[in-house]
Amino acid sequence: MFEFFTWLADVLTYDIMGIERATKLADAIHFFIEDTSKIFFLLTLIIFLMGLFRSILSPEKIRGYIEGKPKGVSYFLAVGLGAVTPFCSCSSVPLFIGFVEAGIPVGATMAFLIASPMINEVAVVVLGTVIGWEMTAIYVVTGLLVGMFGGWATDFFKMERYVEDYVWKIRTGQIVTPSYDTTWKGRIIFAWGEVKEIVGRIWKYVFIGIAIGAALHGYVPTSFFAEYASADNLFAVPLAVLSGIPLYSNATGVIPVAEALLGKGVPIGTVIVLMMSVVAISIPEFVILRKVIRIQGLVYFASFLALAFIFVGYMFNALVS
């Protein structure tokens, strides 16, 4: 059903713009048009559909589910629920405080905060459509495992000592569950509002990602990656992870870059960890979390994740080759 977007890109690139086929410019423009039209179409569709059914899960309900569970179970629940709960990073702080105050281990809270941006329904559908469902399944499972590991490591190394003191002193009132207008009219208004809000927030990342992907696709020769980013080069995985740390993008924005890299024969492990590093270890998110966690805690936390990503990258490159 997505051939339409390939056809659209064919017509616009070769017929309307009259660019000669199989040139570098044509490849890059074709990639840009196909991905822009396809990804924005999917974004709008999925966010709208999810918006219609939003009242199913909220962070308040999740807090109720995880509260009082044994640690091992709490990590599992936190990443699983984090993956399916839409939540905006501007709510990270109240969510963190709300979870910790309910006696949920800091580790499970962090596991939730790792998994939530990395795995979400929008990224999963776009990833599946653009680069295939097998790769998507690997991405999702890896994301869940890394989230659980991050949670476990947070508790194992007693990271709760880096939580700001004031957090422990907060006593919340009775938690208010958000009330939603559940009539169809209310749902549609809400869903359309979500589309405008989310697309308005992330379109820049998506555009930049597509532009980088198009440039890689059109202008960087496959031999370049074969030489520098093959599985034989042991530095490729750590380099991919490290370069992802200062870079930040929304999960959807990084997909076109991954698509182009895979197309150039870069090994799957290297691509997956680059994506995860870009999305999960981000300066904007850490600036927000700095309100509740001291700087040493954040440095340790970023280091756990980076090490976990490097390990995962090597593992996949060894398994799939």
Partner 1 sequence: MKNVKVLGSGCKKCQQTADAIQKYADDNNIDIEVEKVTDMAEIMRYGVMSTPGVVVDEVTVHAGGVPNDEQIKAILA
List interacting residues with partner 1 (CB under 8 A): 58-60, 63, 90-91, 93-95, 97-98, 101, 166, 169-181, 186, 189-190, 193, 197, 291
Q: Which two tokens stand for residue 259?
A: 């698509």
d(CA 201, CA 194): 10
CB of 112 to partner 1, least distance (A): 12
- Judged by DSSP in three states, 293 sits in strand
Provide, rounded to whole angstroms, the least separation between the CB of residue 263 and partner 1: 37
Report d(CA 188, CA 195) in Å as an integer: 11
Q: Which is nearer to partner 1, 77 or 312 (CB)?
A: 77
What DSSP string describes 187-203? HHHHHHHHHHHHHHHHH
CB 81 within 8 A of CB 120: no
**Residue closer to partner 1 (CB basis): 72 or 186:** 186
Longest dimension (CA), the chain: 67
CB of 60 to partner 1, least distance (A): 5
Give 70 or 200: the residue with its C-beta nearer to partner 1. Answer: 200
Contacts (Cβ under 8 Å, ≥6 apart) of 261: 216, 225, 229, 270, 271, 274
Residues near 83 by Cβ (< 8 Å), separated by ≥ 6? Answer: 115, 116, 118, 119, 120, 140, 143, 144
**Rounded least distance, CB 87 to partner 1, Å:** 8
Name the DSSP letter for residue 178. Answer: P
Distance in Å, CB of 190 to partner 1, minimum = 8
CB 229 to partner 1: min, Å: 39
Looking at beta carbons only, is 63 or 217 nearer to partner 1?
A: 63
Q: How far is 257 from 291, CA to CA, in rounded Å? A: 32
Our CB check for partner 1 shows the closer of 143 and 297 to be 297
- Residue closer to partner 1 by CB (options 53, 166) is 166
For the CB of residue 120, give the shortest distance to partner 1 in the complex, in Å.
17
User: Closer to partner 1 at the Cβ: 186 or 246?
Assistant: 186
What tokens does 54 get?
Answer: 């939003």
